[in-house]
Structure 1
Amino acid sequence: MCRGGKQDACWAASGNAQAGLCRGICVRLPQGGLSPCPDAGLSCRLPLNLWPRLRNQIENPPGLIRFSAVTKQGIFLGDPFHIDRVWGPDERGRLRARLEISDQVWTPEQLEARPASLRDVEVVFSTWGMPHLLPAQLEALPSLKAVFYAAGSVRAFAEPLWERGITVFSAWTANGVPVAEFTLAHTLLALKQAWTHVRTLREARSPKAWAHLPMPGVYGATVGILSLGVIGQHVAGLLRPFDLRLRACDPFFDPAKARALGVELCSLEALFQECDVVTIHTPWLKETEGLVTGALIRSMKPGATLINTSRGAVVAEQEMIAVLRERPDLTAVLDVTHPEPPAEGSPLYTLPNVLLSPHIAGSCGMEVRRMAAWMAGEFENWLDGRPLHYAVTREMAARMA
């Protein structure tokens, strides 16, 4: 890196520089063009006829890392498997353009073993598997100012960070995008009674079953959303283009904002009694545990569908199972359960009117890169002093799923 203090930019190549150039290239960027840096103390000096070539490499630097005059330092911390899966080459490239960071994934034990290497680290990037750091591990990061968590809930690890005044950012809204898309898909299928038709044909194995069962269809149907948090609002936005009626139960949501979303607020009882599909987006809190009772499910319309992509504990599961046995016309689409996965021998595995999936509504496959991309963007906002969107406070976390 530049050592003279007068340089405008410094470029360092990883390994041998391209085209046989020197390992370390330090240049000034005066208005008139490029010239060797006289203060760099480098052992090499390039012939003048090579400077146009060098300029092209600087402007199009494959494999090169740029460091500003004052460069922040960051690390990846957590589970290497998840870090490598979530933080892809594009997202890492955005980070490297703005700070010093290697591909090494640090573990809590390494923090304690090598504290001298980390005293200038100001930023941590992580995802699923972010550890709950102990005091001794946090002591190894005395300069830490922010943690950018490319996943959802931060409740498992954030408390000691908040206590030290460290800002915690989360990609919980990015992780909610595929949940809303999953909900949209199942809502449209439910309004066509798709799963009931599939089950009927499979069980009958006869052309006599080739008939349309009673179904609401999409046009004019009523869809209910339980809780208008970020995901619930996104679901409402995705459903708005369709010719159907949207209702929601959320006692804390501003009625004016609900109207702007095209949503009619109603009671919990009315939501279950009057909607063809009810989709649950309530966070799992002490106050919401067992909120969806068997009585509410039993009150649903003939042929109605219950979708749960939130948390299994917000549903009184044994009561739900009893109702689903009584009401084979109802369908439950369950991406979450409590416990998760269901215990061996649970009726949820075998009930014909239960569609059970292994918590796949959230970010999967390449969708996980969205979370890293949003955190990379928030890091850039933080670094440049622009408005921030995804900081999570202790008070916010208490209300989040």
Structure 2
Amino acid sequence: MLKVAVLDDYQRVAKRFADWSKLESRCSVEIFDRHLGDIDEAIAALIDFDIICLLRERMAMPAALIERLPKLKLICATGAHNRTLDLQAAQAQGIVVSHTRNASTENPTAELTWGLILSAARRIDLENRNVRTGGWQTTVGLTLHGRTLGVLGLGRLGKVVARIGAAFGMEIIAWSPNLTEERAAEAGVRLVSKSELFAESDVVTIHMVLSEATRGLVGAEELALLGEDGILVNTSRGPIVHEDALIAALRERRLGLAALDTFDVEPLPEGHPFRAMENVLATPHLGYVTAETYQVFYPDVVENIEAFLSGRPIRLLQH
């Protein structure tokens, strides 16, 4: 029997969204509902497994881990891309790497983004907690109509977020390195410089891919321009924002509020400042976590394993 590890299934729902019984005659499946925090812990937990199933990029698979899993034969990555998996190292070890179809995440993440914006503007999270603990009104909210939304990254997701902002009656401005006036105009958005975006916006929402070019893209200077009444929303990747600068701005009340779904280290460590700050609204990387997404990911994983067992692997991940 081959051993299959399904990683980072925090809600233990993988078996609900796919028919794993198709593998019963040849595989035993173990669900990991805890995150394997470092390489040594991961090696100890996974050393006897033949197949590993990754949920997006929750668990990094660097060469240092891959090379120390001698039984590993197949990695199933959910989504069409995986930036934390060392594909070259896997191929050097003779490990087959497959992927799933890329379930659309634009709408789920855009919807979560707007959930965060609305909650931040009206402090729904805080006032809900007040009611549950016997309190009543403690905050004064913001009306979004007539205010300015700055979209950092006007790709597919950024455009969806911008359209919703327009429906709320907000003025929409945008910046990204390669954005042109023509593309901005097509989306009904005004192109500005990065500094203008932070200076003019009441709310800035980030929708850029993490790369060496975007790491630390938002730092102390940008946060200062957004100011003490500004709201920063990040549903993209934590390291796009310089974390120390963000913590300092929030602690010193030089930034109004941060609504964050992504962090430098995930899961967010116990005792991290973001867990205790009243001017931080934090969710545990929920952007793509919907039933519709999982209904694509997990059945495809089972199909990939079946194909591998038959000697005809499918959906091979390429460089």
Q: TM-score band, normalised by the shorter chain?
A: 0.5 to 0.7
Aligned length: 286
CA deviations 1:25-78 (Å, max 9, x no partner) are xxxxxxxxxxxxxxxxxxxxxxxxxxxxxxxxxxxxxxxxxxxxxxxxxx9964
Letter in 1 for 2:294: R
Distance 1:170 1:294, change over 3 A: farther
TM superposition score normalised by structure 1: 0.54
Q: How does 1:35-114 map to 2 (within 5 A)?
A: 78-79=5-6, 82=9, 91-92=18-19, 104-105=28-29, 111=50
Equivalent pair of 2:53/2:77 in contact (CA under 8 Å): yes
CA deviations 1:238-290 (Å, max 9, x no partner) are 44433222222211245433333333222211111111111122333222222
Equivalent pair of 1:78/1:130 in contact (CA under 8 Å): no
Q: Is 1:369 matched up with 2:299?
A: no
Identity %: 25
Distance 1:347 1:140, change over 3 A: closer
Distance 1:340 1:148, change over 3 A: closer
- Displacement of 1:178 in angstroms is 2.8
Q: Is 1:241 matched up with 2:170?
A: no
* Aligned partner of residue 225 in structure 1, secondary structure: strand
* Aligned partner of residue 149 in structure 2, secondary structure: strand
- Displacement of 1:337 in angstroms is 2.5
Match of residue 185, structure 1, among 109, 115, 121: 115
Structure 1 equivalent of residue 104 of structure 2:
174
Q: Is 1:227 matched up with 2:153?
A: yes
Structure 1 equivalent of residue 38 of structure 2:
none
Distance 1:110 1:180 in 2: 36
- Displacement of 1:172 in angstroms is 5.2
Distance 1:342 1:176, change over 3 A: same
Match of residue 206, structure 2, among 264, 280, 294: 280
Equivalent pair of 1:183/1:309 in contact (CA under 8 Å): yes
Structure 1 equivalent of residue 253 of structure 2:
327
Equivalent pair of 1:291/1:315 in contact (CA under 8 Å): yes
Equivalent pair of 1:349/1:356 in contact (CA under 8 Å): yes
Match of residue 277, structure 2, among 326, 345, 351: 351
* Aligned partner of residue 151 in structure 2, secondary structure: strand
Letter in 1 for 2:108: P
Structure 1 equivalent of residue 77 of structure 2:
149
Letter in 2 for 1:369: Y
- Displacement of 1:358 in angstroms is 2.9
Structure 2 equivalent of residue 39 of structure 1:
none
Distance 2:100 2:175 in 1: 26
Equivalent pair of 2:204/2:233 in contact (CA under 8 Å): yes
TM superposition score normalised by structure 2: 0.65
Equivalent pair of 1:302/1:329 in contact (CA under 8 Å): yes
Match of residue 290, structure 1, among 213, 216, 234: 216
Letter in 1 for 2:297: A
Structure number with higher relative contact order (C-alpha < 8 Å, ≥ 6 residues apart) = 2
Distance 1:126 1:239, change over 3 A: farther
* Aligned partner of residue 157 in structure 2, secondary structure: helix
Distance 1:280 1:161 in 2: 32
* Aligned partner of residue 204 in structure 2, secondary structure: strand
* Aligned partner of residue 205 in structure 2, secondary structure: strand
Distance 1:140 1:283, change over 3 A: closer
- Displacement of 1:157 in angstroms is 4.2
Distance 1:222 1:198 in 2: 26
Distance 1:368 1:108, change over 3 A: farther
Equivalent pair of 2:17/2:299 in contact (CA under 8 Å): no
Equivalent pair of 2:100/2:297 in contact (CA under 8 Å): no
Letter in 2 for 1:155: T
* Aligned partner of residue 173 in structure 2, secondary structure: strand
Q: How does 1:158-169 map to 2 (within 5 A)?
A: 158-160=87-89, 169=99
Distance 1:392 1:285 in 2: 20
Equivalent pair of 2:158/2:207 in contact (CA under 8 Å): yes
* Aligned partner of residue 287 in structure 1, secondary structure: coil
Equivalent pair of 1:177/1:234 in contact (CA under 8 Å): yes
Q: Tell me, which stretches of 5 or more residues in structure 2 are unaligned?
A: 31-45, 305-314
